[in-house]
Structure 1
Amino acid sequence: MVVPCYNESLNLSSFYLNVCHQIHTIQAQINLAIQYEFIFINDGSTDNTWEILTQLNNQDNKIHCINFSRNFGKEAAILAGLKQAKGDAIVLIDADLQDPVELIFQMVKLYHTQSIDIIYAKRINRKGESAIRATFSEAFYKISQVISEVKIQSGVRDFRLMSKEVADAILELNEYHRFSKAIFEWVGFNKMCLEYEYIPREAGISGWSFYKLFKYAIEGLISFSTLPLRLTFIFGMFFSIISFVYGGWIIFDTLLFGNSVKGYPSLMCVIIFLGGIQLIALGIIGEYIARIYEQVKNRPHFITRRENDPKK
């Protein structure tokens, strides 16, 4: 069980008990002796998440904890957990209890009976989200479907079971800017979807602000598509052709009919418009260059503190 945590002190104990209950249910109902471990990743929480993880760690020797030196983000936490995991199958799930832990039973059963490499969870609607957030989320997935070769379904969560083979394939992708939703699709393997209804948080607030989600969306659009770069070239060619044709018409109109060049306000509008297009193009190119710059520096994805896993 790989569990990224950020300010989840109010949910951790309940989450741990619920998941343990599911594991015992699996062992009882399908008569399968499961050896399991929890890997909790404290992603620079500002509450007492680490203290609670330490307490759980002292109570259960199947719990291992990773403590980041600061908040590196969920992508880094997922990466750290997958690197630490040693099981034949890995369940990735958040600790906020918005993912139904009851699906773990179905995931494990399907994995053992049908040998499916990835079983993932998908919300069937956006009930419980604000209208603005739901609208922008759906817009992101529609844009992603158009510009990216990796197709991501709306509502698909990070909550999933994957085989160790899948996890090893994911770990081979050592890119600095990671977008796991697309990575899970890009690696391939046979998949199955389990759908569920929205579940509200039991306690606490989400760490995903609108700004963080917007940054994450930009990450997703750029990480798995070069179409924005091609579009800047196409727009440049289009406006160059338009300006060339229009310039030829002005010369023709002046020489043949003697019409003076008019329209300074409209000219300013055109200049400002094209200047905006150029700045947008430069911004898109800059996003790709920035990722090259950060990748070649070869910085670690995360840094852990020395009190990592109190039992060690």
Structure 2
Amino acid sequence: MKLSVVATLYQSENYISEFCRRATKSARSLSDDDYEIVLVNDGSPDNSLHVAVEITEKDPHIVVVDLSRNFGHHKAMMTGLSYAQGDQVFLVDSDLEEDPELVETFSKQMRDEGCDVVYGVQQRRKGNWFERWSGRWFYSLFKTLTGLTLPENVVTARLMSRRYVDALLSHREREVFMAGLWHITGFDQRPHAIKKHSTSTTTYTLRKKMSVLVNSVTSFSNAPLVGIFYIGLSISTLALCYIVYLVVYRVFLATPLSGWTSVMASIWLIGGMIISFIGIVGIYLSKIFSETKQRPYTIIRQVYGHRQN
């Protein structure tokens, strides 16, 4: 199969029909009749599944993978990629904020430049000043904590070669942060500036954004745990310095209340050492925890379309 188009569905019932029509037109222009469109229903609470299934009954090129519940955008994307069979895979959101026709532009650039991935980058980040500022802050913080320099303002839309997709799917960590996985998979990746439209209300609430931030940092860095260790070490050092100060003060300057010096010094010193030791143990536990928790990305309830049997 020449081309697979992969998209996720979540509150997408108003966009599915037009998305499929436009994606089908572009796919046919590139691969004639040798293509598929894989739609992953990520537990959408609206009528997205019903609308998508109706389309599969009319078009044998369209497949709907229905997940048992909402697993999250990133895990749904990985499920769709694992189900795609094309030599090239075009990943895009179904809400039409990214034009399905980008697959034609990306395909031309991939041929001309001989690269493995062409990914979209927003010319100007969508949203108000807070969203743009928080986006810049996120990338800066991520680079500081992990040492990885991610391309800024990337979007979902990207055209990928088969070997890149296979390599991407070889990552088996349970908590998925797609932007990080896209980057560390490597290969020859080229950006393409696009304009992202505002067609729908974002489903990424502040709580979800904070969750993505925490997940991204902890998935690619143990800096928080190392930070805890160094904080404890700093407290221990300050406690030792304070002990020296108290001894000098007691011997040469004055006599404090009986027992106060030893109590304060011991509390600070032991407290700092405990935090340091917890940080060290936490580093090892985090690695063991990540490796032993072998839950599946998602659970598929049913597949609709020409590959159902």
TM range (shorter): 0.7 to 0.9
Question: 1:292 Cα shift?
Answer: 4.5
Amino acid at match of 2:210: F
Q: Secondary structure at the match of 2:120?
A: strand
2:149 corresponds to 1:151: yes
Question: Unaligned 5+ residue runs, structure 1?
Answer: none
Structure 1 counterpart of 2:81: 82
Given residue 234 of structure 2, which amino acid in structure 1 is its aligned partner?
A: F
Q: Which range is displaced more, 64-73 or 98-107? A: 98-107
Paired residues of 1:151 and 1:182 also in contact (CA < 8 A): no
CA distance in 2, matches of 1:103, 1:192: 14
Could you say which residue in structure 2 is the equivalent of 1:137?
A: 135
Contact 2:225 2:282 in 1 (8 A): no
Residues 134 and 113 (structure 1), Cα distance of their counterparts in 2 relative to 1, 3 Å cut: closer
How many angstroms does 1:33 deviate by? 4.1
Aligned-pair distance for 1:132?
3.2
* Residue 200 (structure 1) shift: 0.5
Q: 2:164 corresponds to which residue? A: 166
1:185, distance to aligned residue in structure 2 (A): 0.6
Matches of 2:150 and 2:86, distance apart in 1 = 27
Q: 1:275 to 1:162 in 2, by over 3 A?
A: farther
**Alpha-carbon shift at residue 50 of structure 1 (Å):** 0.5
Name which of 231, 235, 239 aligns with 2:231. Answer: 235
Q: Which residue of 2 aligns with 1:309?
A: 304
Q: Look up the equivalent residue of 1:116 and give its one-letter code.
A: C
Pair 1:231–1:287, CA change in 2 (3 A)? closer
Q: 1:77 to 1:86 in 2, by over 3 A?
A: same
Q: How does 1:250-289 map to 2 (within 5 A)?
A: 250-258=246-254, 260=256, 289=285
CA RMSD of aligned residues (A): 3.1
CA distance in 1, matches of 2:271, 2:122: 42
Partner of 1:20: 24
Aligned in 2, Cα 1:250/1:280: closer, same or farther, shift over 3 Å?
Answer: closer
Q: Cα offset for 1:224?
A: 0.9
Range moving further from structure 2, 59-68 or 294-303: 294-303
Matches within 5 A, 1:191-230: 191-201=189-199, 203=200, 205-230=201-226
Give 1:152 shift. 1.0
Residue deviations 1:139-169 (CA, integer Å, cap 9, x gap)? 1110111121332122012211110100110
User: Is the 1:177–1:291 Cα contact (8 Å) retained in structure 2?
Assistant: no
TM-score normalised per structure 1: 0.85
Report the alpha carbon displacement of residue 290 of structure 1 after superposing the two structures with TM: 6.5
Q: Look up the SS of the partner of 2:242 in the other structure.
A: helix
Which range moves more in the overlay, 8-17 or 41-50? 8-17
- Paired residue secondary structure (2:229): helix
1:119 lines up with 2:123 in the alignment: no
Q: Equivalent residue for 1:179?
A: 177
Query: How many aligned residue pairs are there?
Result: 297
- The one-character-per-residue Cα deviations of 1:55-78 (angstroms, maximum 9, x if unpaired) are 111111110110001001112211
Change (3 A) 1:33 1:21: closer
Paired AA for residue 89 in structure 1? Q
Output the CA distance in 1 between the equivalents of 2:284 and 2:58: 47
Report percent identity of matched pairs.
25
2:7 maps to what in 1?
A: 3
Distance 2:67 2:81 in 1: 15
Scaled by the length of structure 2, the TM-score of the pair is 0.85
Alpha carbons of structure 1 residues 287 and 84: separation in structure 2 relative to 1, 3 Å: farther
Once residues 81 and 13 of structure 1 are traced to their aligned partners in structure 2, the CA distance between those partners, rounded to angstroms, is 19
CA gap of 1:299–1:249, structure 2 versus 1, over 3 A, is same
User: 8 Å contact 1:120–1:156 — kept in the other structure?
Assistant: yes
Aligned mates of 1:309, 1:186 — CA distance in 2: 33
